[in-house]
Chains A and B, each alone.
Chain A
Amino acid sequence: DSGVTQTPKHLITATGQRVTLRCSPRSGDLSVYWYQQSLDQGLQFLIQYYNGEERAKGNILERFSAQQFPDLHSELNLSSLELGDSALYFCASSEDRVGSSGANVLTFGAGSRLTVL
C-alpha cells in the first residue's frame, strides 16, 4: 500500500457521460498530480495541485477539470466522455514543502481504470 488512495478502481460508463475520480494523498503530502495512461502509452501529465491551488497544467482537455479540497483530497472530473478517454488514471502525491531538498519523489496510487463504451 503506497498510502495514496484512489477510488473507484474500475469504472465502466457510456459515451457522453460524466465521471468523478477521487484521490487521497499520503499523509503529510501537499501536492497531488493527475496522470493519464492509455493502452501502450506513457504516463501523460494532466494537472497538479498544491495545498488547494492549481500549480501546473499539462495536456488536460477542456472537458476535464480537477480540484483539491481543504483536506487535501482531490477529484478529477471527466465530462462528455469519448471512447478515447478510456485509460488508467493515476493520482500521485508528493511532499513539495517549501525549502525541502532531495528527490521529492512522486508516490502513485493504484489507479482508476475507466472504460467508455
Chain B
Amino acid sequence: GQNIDQPTEMTATEGAIVQINCTYQTSGFNGLFWYQQHAGEAPTFLSYNVLDGLEEKGRFSSFLSRSKGYSYLLLKELQMKDSASYLCAVRDLGDYKLSFGAGTTVTVRA
C-alpha cells in the first residue's frame, strides 16, 4: 500500500460519534485494517475489510469502497478511553506485511 492518507487529529465530545477517513492507493488491494494505539503502547487490531461495505463490531464500524480507494472508521458513543491514535493500514496483493498511514489522534473531551 502506498500513499495512505488520514487526518492528523480529530476532537469529539464524550457520547458523540466520530468518523475517521482513510484514502489509499495500491497496485493490488488485499485488505484494509484499522488499529488502535494508545500513546507508547502496542497497536491493537480493530477491524478488517476486504470486500466493499460496512463491518460492524460493537461501537466500532468500518466501511470500505475499493473503487474509490476509501475507508472510514466510525466510533459511536465515544468514551474517554477511546482517546488514542487510529491507524489505517493496507495490504497489497501478494504481500503479507501491512503499510500504515501516519495515524489519526482522536481526543475525547468530557
Contacts and interface: CB of A to CB of B under 8 A. Distances in A.
Q: Do A and B bind each other?
A: yes
B102 A90 contact: no
A90 B43 contact: yes
A88 B95 CA distance: 24
A113 to B, nearest CB: 8
A43 interface: yes
Contacts of B101: 42
A41 B8 CA distance: 11
B99 A45 contact: yes
Interface in A6-49: 31, 33, 35, 41-45, 48
Contacts of A31: 96
A109 B42 CA distance: 6
Contacts, number: 57
Contacts of A110: 41-42
A90 B42 contact: yes
B73 to A, nearest CB: 15
Given A43-B43, A43-B87, A110-B41, A105 B48 contact: yes
Interface in B17-43: 31, 33, 35, 40-43
A41 B87 CA distance: 11
A52 B43 CA distance: 24
Interface of B: 31, 33, 35, 40-45, 48, 50, 87, 89, 95-103
Interface of A: 2, 4, 31, 33, 35, 41-45, 48, 50, 55-56, 58, 88, 90, 94, 96, 103-111, 113
